[in-house]
Structure 1
């Protein structure tokens, strides 16, 4: 793996401080002199690092006032947003918004998959449900999450739309972390197994509307479980 440039290192460390909440939205970040002293680099390096974050709409410059942190919904870097979602302080909001995104994409993917899924893929879905049941029986959260993610991956691929899988690939790391948190609750595992069964049966029937509604019901249950069983415990 290639070493990051000094510009990249400074930009990453400043982004980490923003994500950690040291510089919340609307606050100013340190000036070039302070950052160059902190990182022991030239002011030109700091300037280029700041330009990198400005290009991603993470920072904005107001002439005569300073450089300010933009709210997350203005950031244009998917990688930076994912880092904020997986490492940031406002996990509750990020978790809810991630489910909202999944709902928009996965209900459509499931609808498409109903008319395109192969018999082999359908068999894989039921095999993953069996694996989820086995993991639930012994409260093996890691294995449960692995089977859960694999189940959804089959549907995304079966949709036949290449953009769906490409869009979901960067989300995988965040999804795995979030699933590990929610799936630690036995009741949530039970809910997920039931909904996965409904989704698999709907896809097996080839009914696009039924498949979309089954996935939508799963997303709603996931959101309800998050709000009622996970977030209050934090």
Structure 2
């Protein structure tokens, strides 16, 4: 992966090492001079990268004890970089976490949307569904995953709860990873469209129970598609 700035490259290098378990939690990072030389950057660039990872909850800097890796339970797991590093390191765990989060959040978000969505919210859902249908009709299906993400983001926005809307934007990378895996199962794309249409129609009709049930059906189908996806078994022996 190429990065536009040196700072982003160093943050990525350190973040991948932390998520990959190169340094144990509570243990100090290597001496600053040695680590900077190993990565090929200045001490100043290394320090700025460390500050970024402190903000993500991954590192702690204290006088006399140096810079230490914090346990994973203290990390900001909704941070886009952390999600990306987890995807590269333990994709299966990220898929499980994403599915569990969707089960907890999306059905209730659909209930809220069915009770609160205005005309613009419903239009955003219909537009995302139309984009999904158009992409599904193309041989390459380019843009399908992006349209699917836009649909679920619009659903979280439609409930009028700003925290849910922010959550939807925060987990874009996790959703993208999940959808890229699930849509590689034969027939998954075609099978998903009626369920998404059922969500929109339930929201437009103001039927919270139907909206929640339709979303849960989508999530359950995605779990089965992920389990069967060639993308997960391609490298299996």
TM beyond 0.5:
yes
Written as runs of structure 1 = structure 2, the 5 A alignment for 1:44-193 is: 50=50, 53-54=53-54, 56-59=56-59, 69-76=69-76, 78-86=79-87, 88-193=88-193
Where in structure 2 are there 5+ consecutive unaligned residues? none
Offset from partner CA, 1:74-114 (integer Å, 9 cap, x none): 3136244223234x221111122122223322222111010
Q: 1:65 to 1:127 in 2, by over 3 A?
A: closer
Counterpart of 2:201 in structure 1 is 201
Q: How far apart in 2 are the matches of 1:18 and 1:195?
A: 39
Q: How far apart in 2 are the matches of 1:175 and 1:140?
A: 20
Give the TM-score, by structure 2 length.
0.75
Q: How far apart in 1 are the matches of 2:127 and 2:67?
A: 53
1:101 match: secondary structure: helix
Instruction: State the 1:160 CA deviation.
Output: 0.9
Q: 1:25 to 1:212 in 2, by over 3 A?
A: farther
Q: How far apart in 1 are the matches of 2:126 and 2:51?
A: 50
Q: 1:35 to 1:160 in 2, by over 3 A?
A: same
**8 Å contact from structure 1 (residues 72, 81) kept in 2:** no
Q: How far apart in 2 are the matches of 1:196 and 1:40?
A: 48
1:194 match: secondary structure: helix
Q: 1:33 to 1:186 in 2, by over 3 A?
A: same
Where in structure 1 are there 5+ consecutive unaligned residues? none
Q: How far apart in 2 are the matches of 1:174 and 1:141?
A: 20
Aligned positions, number = 228
1:139 match: secondary structure: coil
Q: How far apart in 1 are the matches of 2:121 and 2:10?
A: 46
Instruction: State the 1:63 CA deviation.
Output: 11
**8 Å contact from structure 2 (residues 84, 173) kept in 1:** no
Q: How far apart in 1 are the matches of 2:133 and 2:9?
A: 45
Give the TM-score, by structure 1 length.
0.76
Q: 1:131 to 1:53 in 2, by over 3 A?
A: closer
Q: How far apart in 1 are the matches of 2:138 and 2:172?
A: 25
Q: How far apart in 1 are the matches of 2:22 and 2:182?
A: 29
